Amino acid sequence: MDYVGNIIRPPSEAYSLIIQVTVGCSHNMCTFCGTYKSRKFYIKDTDLIKRDIDEASKFGGSFRKAFLTDGDVLILPTETLLHLINYIRKKIPSIKRVGVYGNTKSILKKSKNELMELKDAGLGIVYHGIESGNKEVLRRIRKGAFPHKMIESANKITETGILLSQTVLLGIGGRELSINHAVDTGKVLSEMSPHFASALTLIVLPNTDLYKDYKSGKFILPDKFELLNELKIIIENMDVKRECFFASNHASNYVAVKAKLPREKDKTVALLEKIISSGDKNILRPEFMRGL
């Protein structure tokens, strides 16, 4: 398989066939993200991608899902993406669902009809990282999109029947914007009503712009319990229209919660309150076990 650089995929795609379609991220500007820093974004040659699919088809009979990387696969022309999804499903008929990462701009560039066509071909889930619902936080981290556009893009996905999975990032507002970040993130998630939402916790990486601010003291990372308080506030402020499976089980988090919202909201908030008020660091994931 022709894999260029580190391959990143959501935890829920751990058992999926991974096909690399783009290299890097079309945005590549977020101050906290070092994932694709050293790579220039490009779309891989279709024949090269098809060669990978051919190779995978020789042992791919057991795969039920495929995930297309890297950062922003929805930026592909719809025709190309349709061709690739159809090719995957023809060559590996056991694959019932194809997933991709998509950013706000790429989703908005697609028409409803294009998204419907993609869904009918087998695009079953879009992973959309919003990080925060707070406008000032999004401006500072150079996310390249603001809440109203993020909500518009999320609704565009769910209206077609494609599953939507949102990712938010605890700590990204720093201590200064911690509460605003959490409240607004909960509110924006409410307006999106994703099928899945997950929280990761910021780890400031040395190869990022944020690291310079962190080192100089301009950016102060909330402490462990302040981060858990953000998680609690996000869930408290989530008022979703459809059932949302919320998880903080990513390895970057100090506490893993899994909750079906809104049903398990009160129970989950109470659990987090109990952990926060205990102040007991021994029940948190130790630093050496955290990762991205």
The contact set with ligand SF4 (CB under 6 A) reads 25, 27-30, 33, 35-36, 71, 103, 129
Residue 111 has a CB neighbour count (10 Å cut-off) of 11
Which residues share a beta bridge with 22? 43
* Ordered DSSP codes for 81-139: HHHHHHHHHHH-TT--EEEEE--HHHHHHS-HHHHHHHHHHTEEEEEEEEE-S-HHHHH
Q: Can you read off the two tokens belonging to residue 169?
A: 């990032």
Q: Which two tokens stand for residue 262?
A: 């809104």
Residue 283 C-alpha from the chain's centroid: 26
Rounded (10°) CA dihedral 179, 102, 19, 63: 80
CB 72 within 8 A of CB 242: no
The three state secondary structure string of 211-277 is HHHHHHCCCCCCCHHHHHHHHHHHHHCCCCCCCEEEECCCCCCCCCCEEEECCCHHHHHHHHHHHHH
> What are the structure tokens assigned to 98, written together?
């194809």
